[in-house]
C-alpha cells in the first residue's frame, strides 16, 4: 500500500471535520479570541460552535476560559500546545497525500 494513502487514512478526525478545522485554523492565527468572534467568522450556529468547541476541549486541543466583559458573559478560546501540534501534523499528513 501506497504511502500517500496511508497518510489519508491516518488523518486526525477531530481536526478533519471542516467545522473544527475552521476553528483550529482561526485560533492558530490569533492566539486568543472569544466565542462571538468565532461565531461571526465561521457562520456556524451557536449550538454547533459550542459542541465543536467542547469536542476540541475534550481532545485537549482548545482551552475554554469563561469570564465576563463587564456583566456580560464571555467565553475565551485558545489553541493549546497539543492543539497546535495536532494541526501541524494534520497539515503534514495532507501535504504528504497531495
Partner DNA sequence: GCAGACTAGTTTTCTACACAAACTAGTTTT
Partner DNA sequence: AAAACTAGTTTGTGTAGAAAACTAGTCTGC
Binding site for a copy of itself (CB under 8 A): 1-2, 4-5, 8-9, 11, 13, 16, 18-19, 21-22, 25-26, 40-43, 91, 94-95, 97-98
* Residue 64 touches which of DNA, a copy of itself, none (Cβ within 5-8 Å per kind): DNA
Name residues contacting DNA, limited to 33-72 (CB under 7 A): 34-36, 44-55, 64, 66, 69-72
Report the nearest approach of a copy of itself to the CB of residue 93 (Å): 10
Q: Which residues contact 75 (CB under 8 A, 6 or more apart)?
A: 34, 35, 64, 65, 66, 67
Q: How far is the CB of 42 from DNA (least distance, A)?
A: 10
Q: Distance (Å, rounded) from C-alpha 50 to C-alpha 70?
A: 22
Amino acid at each position: 500500500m501506497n504511502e500517500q494513502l496511508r497518510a489519508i487514512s491516518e488523518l486526525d478526525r477531530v481536526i478533519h471535520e471542516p467545522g473544527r478545522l475552521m476553528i483550529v485554523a482561526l485560533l492558530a492565527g490569533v492566539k486568543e479570541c472569544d466565542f462571538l468572534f468565532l461565531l461571526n467568522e465561521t457562520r456556524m450556529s451557536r449550538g454547533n460552535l459550542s459542541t465543536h468547541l467542547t469536542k476540541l476541549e475534550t481532545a485537549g486541543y482548545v482551552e475554554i476560559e469563561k469570564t465576563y466583559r463587564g456583566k456580560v458573559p464571555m467565553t475565551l478560546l485558545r489553541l493549546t500546545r497539543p492543539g497546535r501540534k495536532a494541526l501541524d501534523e494534520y497539515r503534514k499528513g495532507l501535504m504528504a497525500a497531495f
